[in-house]
Amino acid sequence: MTSPVISVQNVTKNYGNFRAVDDLSFEVHPGEIFAMLGPNGAGKSTTMRMILDIIKPDTGKIAVLGGQMTDAIKDKIGYLPEERGLYRGVKLMEMMTYLGRLKGMSRTDANARAAELLKYLELEAHAKKKVSELSKGMQQKIQFAVTVMHRPQLIIVDEPFSGLDPLNTRILMDLLMSLRKDGTTIVMSTHQMFQVEELCERLLMMNKGKVALYGTVDEVRSRYATHAVEVEGTGNWAGVAGVAQADVSENGRTAVLQLKEGVTSKDLLSSLSQTPGIEVQKFALAVPRLNDIFIRVVEGGATA
Amino acid sequence: MNLTKIWLIAQQEFWSNLKRPSFLFAVFGTPILVALSIGLGVLTGSSEDDLGAYSPVGVLDRTEQQIFAQHVSPESFPDLFVWVTDEASAQQAVMDGELAGYIDFSPEYIESGKATLYGLRGAPEDMFDAADALVLANLSASVDSTLPAERIEKSADLTVTVLDGNRTFDSDSVFFMTILPLLFGFFLVLASTTTSSFLMNTLSEEKANRIMEILITSVRPMELLTGKVLGMGLLGLLQVVVFLVAGLVGLSLAQQQNFLTGLSIPPDMIVLALVYYVLSYFLLAAGLAGIGAVSSSEQESRQLSIIIVLPVMLPYMAIVTFLLDPNGTIPTIFSLIPFTSPMAVMMRVGLTTVPAWQIAVSIIGLIITDLLVLWASARLFRWGILSYGKTPGLRGLWQVIRGRGDTIGQAPAPTVKEVA
């Protein structure tokens, strides 16, 4: 097995009396999109900063791209912090070139890459504008472009899509997917669970500085799977044989049917077809959404 | 330390700030404003200096005709002049502070009309009228008809020479004689405060808009600080050079118009100005960079910057003391204290001869203070650039400087909440 891109082992970080990260361990594998989830204050940003060597852990070990952080390794990482910031009074090309060169690029390479990204993000017409002259959405895209300017091997992005409209979200998601296709490893923190379900292979859910959930997205969802079926259609679901409880959605079009013990989904499908007044348009095993799992974990205060 | 990245940061700071309108105004606008105010000063003929403090003045009569043999004091300046017999004792009396200066009427005086006033500092403007009155009073008492009529018409073309031999002033230049050292001190501190304030503002801005987080994943905090201090220092040096060149060109133009012909800016003053600029810049830049790094906003950093800038500007507030007695206790003390010394010494070297030991002590003191402030600032900088929320008080800052503040986020400053 190839060595992990990031290895965090038993890391703890305190701010005064507040323990921001508590005995945290996980790994990120090469070429995957890895999600870091958790409520505000769970310790995600602190963990990211420790990975980036911006702050030091009190105890534990962190290895990135095969070892402890060096200047050469720093140049192979792209970071998009949660709180965005750009030089507002500087022209786009100038700023992108400068930040690219700080990552070790030559002036020529940085200029060419900045032009390429501006074209990809449909911002080439604004190359000579100052950041302050751009809309918020455009600034977000530029921030993202700065993160991937130097073709990093590892990208760490904190809430990359926050504040973006669906169209721009799609553009940046496509960019992330294409980077992963090229072998880039991506660590992403987000509150948008559907994005995790769509983009990520594995996830780490943190709560109160500790690991709450860790594994592949499918594993986590199946771990929280209930004995239920999700249906779409019309009828009196509660009256169907084998149904213990029917949770009908607000609009009445879908329902989650909890099955009685010993009843299989196949038995239920058979019952539904035999029950008069029932019309089924969609029938699927109920797999919990990450969103529901997130709420259950946070409300239950669960940690692994 | 990655020198390539440091140089890249220095270049970026230099060029991006060079284009700022506020910097262009500081470089070009301020000298124009000062030149205008001086022009206004010349036109109104104002002089803040007082002849009363410039007394007594010796008269050394080396003319063949001994035109001052009657020892007549002019009516308008009855107690100003005393008579001295030889150059050596006159010089000694000046050095001992018994005389404010002495006027040397050389054997060539009768022909040329040129006399020289020697002193430890420049003379007030009234001195030129007093010299005329002295000559007239003594010529009137003389019965020698062989004296040329021009000596009555134009009695004394007085040149003032400071006894270290570097500075000379004629009657046109006397206003500038008093204003020049003040300008030197003013522009010196203006250059270092302008650039170091810019440095502080860019740091506050980068911290406030969070681009700092991106920067420090590309470079180390000390590389960032070094690059910024270097870039802004070069920008300030450019500002000093512009001031000096503008001053020298302006003087040369004035002299082509036969104005300020007796005024010269000695090379030692220029060298000292550059030395004090560099030392005061590092003091201010390091101090203000530390403040910029720990402040939560530009406004707050500007308020805190007074802690550093005020002591540096303090000698300017004691300007009258410097003019009246440049070698007095207060100017001497200010010259020895590291924060006040750049401006104090530069003001004094234009007015008087500053003892070499005082210059040496002030420079050594400044170098030591620069190193201490750089060290403390580096600790604050490393700790502060990612600390948001309430700025710690002086006690908190002291804890950071003393404590384990060499790693971001690790310093014990209980009043600061770091973003988790």
How far is Cα B205 from Cα B385, in angstroms, rounded to an integer? 11
The answer to whether B390 contacts chain A (CB < 8 Å) is no
Cα–Cα nearest to A193, from A45, A298, A121: A298
Kind and range of the H or E run holding B95: helix B87-95
What is the secondary structure of B208-265 as a DSSP string? HTTHHHHHTTTS-HHHHHHHHHHHHHHHHHHHHHHHHHHHHHHHHHHHHTTSSTT---
Average pLDDT score, chain B: 77
Any idea what the Cα angle at residue A171 is, between residues A168 and A173, rounded to 5°? 110
Q: Do B408 and A77 touch (CB under 8 A)?
A: no
Identify the pLDDT of residue B172: 54
Given a contact cutoff of 8 angstroms between Cβ atoms, the answer to whether A56 and A50 are in contact is: yes
How far is Cα A264 from Cα B160, in angstroms, rounded to an integer? 113
Bridge partners, A156 (sequence order):
A79, A187
- Burial annotation B90-115 (CB, 10 A radius, 16+ → b, else e): bbebbeeeebbbbbbbeeebbeebeb
Q: Do B214 and A81 touch (CB under 8 A)?
A: yes
How far is Cα B351 from Cα B228, in angstroms, rounded to an integer? 35
What residues in A contact B410, CB-CB < 8 Å?
Answer: 55-56
The answer to whether B21 contacts chain A (CB < 8 Å) is no
Any idea what the Cα angle at residue A200 is, between residues A199 and A201, rounded to 5°? 135
Cα–Cα nearest to A148, from A174, A123, A184, A183: A184
Given a contact cutoff of 8 angstroms between Cβ atoms, the answer to whether B301 and B291 are in contact is: yes
Given a contact cutoff of 8 angstroms between Cβ atoms, the answer to whether A183 and A35 are in contact is: no
Q: Which of A20, A43, A79 sits opposite B214 (nearest CB)?
A: A79
The answer to whether B223 contacts chain A (CB < 8 Å) is no
Given a contact cutoff of 8 angstroms between Cβ atoms, the answer to whether A209 and A43 are in contact is: yes
3-state class (DSSP) for residue A283? strand
- Decide: pTM greater than 0.90: no
How far is Cα B155 from Cα A294, in angstroms, rounded to an integer? 100
Distance from CA of A267 to the nearest CA of B (A): 50
Name the residue of chain B whose CA is nearest to A52's CA.
B217
DSSP state of A210: E
The answer to whether A54 contacts chain B (CB < 8 Å) is yes
HSE-CB of B277 using CA atoms within 13 angstroms: 27
What residues in A contact B216, CB-CB < 8 Å?
Answer: 54
**Which tokens sit at B222?**
């000390």
The answer to whether A56 contacts chain B (CB < 8 Å) is yes
How far is Cα A71 from Cα A61, in angstroms, rounded to an integer? 18
**Which tokens sit at B91?**
């010089």
How far is Cα B18 from Cα B235, in angstroms, rounded to an integer? 7
Q: Do B218 and A74 touch (CB under 8 A)?
A: yes
**Which tokens sit at B164?**
């270290």
**Which tokens sit at B113?**
């009309």
Q: Do B409 and A20 touch (CB under 8 A)?
A: no
Instruction: Count A/B contacts: CB-CB distance under 8 Å.
Output: 74
What residues in A contact B411, CB-CB < 8 Å?
Answer: none
3-state class (DSSP) for residue A288? coil
The answer to whether A84 contacts chain B (CB < 8 Å) is yes
For testing the chain B interface, which of A12, A49, A130 should be mutated: the one with the most B CBs within 10 Å? A49
The answer to whether A130 contacts chain B (CB < 8 Å) is no
Tokens 């070429």 correspond to: A31
Kind and range of the H or E run holding A66: none
Give residue A154's identity as a one-letter amino acid code: L
DSSP state of A181: H
Q: Which of A15, A45, A85 sits opposite B211 (nearest CB)?
A: A85
How far is Cα A60 from Cα B15, in angstroms, rounded to an integer? 43
Kind and range of the H or E run holding A294: helix A290-300
Compute the radius of gyration of chain A from its Cα atoms: 23
Residues of chain B with pLDDT under 50: 43-48, 405-420
Compute the radius of gyration of chain B from its Cα atoms: 27
How far is Cα B415 from Cα B176, in angstroms, rounded to an integer? 52
How far is Cα A300 from Cα A298, in angstroms, rounded to an integer? 5
The answer to whether A120 contacts chain B (CB < 8 Å) is no
The answer to whether A262 contacts chain B (CB < 8 Å) is no
The answer to whether B361 contacts chain A (CB < 8 Å) is no
Q: Do A54 and B408 touch (CB under 8 A)?
A: yes
Distance from CA of B229 to the nearest CA of A (A): 17
Cα–Cα nearest to B47, from B182, B246, B188: B182
The answer to whether B43 contacts chain A (CB < 8 Å) is no
What residues in B contact A46, CB-CB < 8 Å?
Answer: 420
Q: Which of B2, B216, B419 sits opposite A45 (nearest CB)?
A: B419
Instruction: Provide the H-helix boundaries in B154-220.
Output: 174-208, 211-215
Residue B293, φ and ψ in degrees, nearest 5:
-75, -30
Q: Do B410 and A56 touch (CB under 8 A)?
A: yes
Q: Do A45 and B420 touch (CB under 8 A)?
A: yes
Identify the pLDDT of residue A184: 94
Give residue B130's identity as a one-letter amino acid code: A
Residue B140, φ and ψ in degrees, nearest 5:
-65, -35
Given a contact cutoff of 8 angstroms between Cβ atoms, the answer to whether A230 and A254 are in contact is: yes
Query: Residue B300 burial by CB count (10 A; 0-12/13-18/19+): exposed, middle or buried?
Result: middle
How far is Cα A290 from Cα A275, in angstroms, rounded to an integer? 32
Q: Do A15 and B418 touch (CB under 8 A)?
A: yes
What residues in A contact B386, CB-CB < 8 Å?
Answer: 49, 54-55
Average pLDDT along chain A, 304 residues, taken 10 residues at a time? 88 88 94 91 89 89 91 92 81 92 93 93 89 86 91 92 85 89 92 83 90 87 80 88 87 86 86 87 81 78 54
Identify the pLDDT of residue B176: 61
What residues in A contact B416, CB-CB < 8 Å?
Answer: none
Q: Which of A41, A102, A146 sits opposite B420 (nearest CB)?
A: A41
Instruction: Provide the H-helix boundaries in A164-264.
Output: 166-181, 193-199, 217-223
For testing the chain B interface, which of A65, A102, A146 should be mutated: the one with the most B CBs within 10 Å? A102
Tokens 């002193």 correspond to: B119
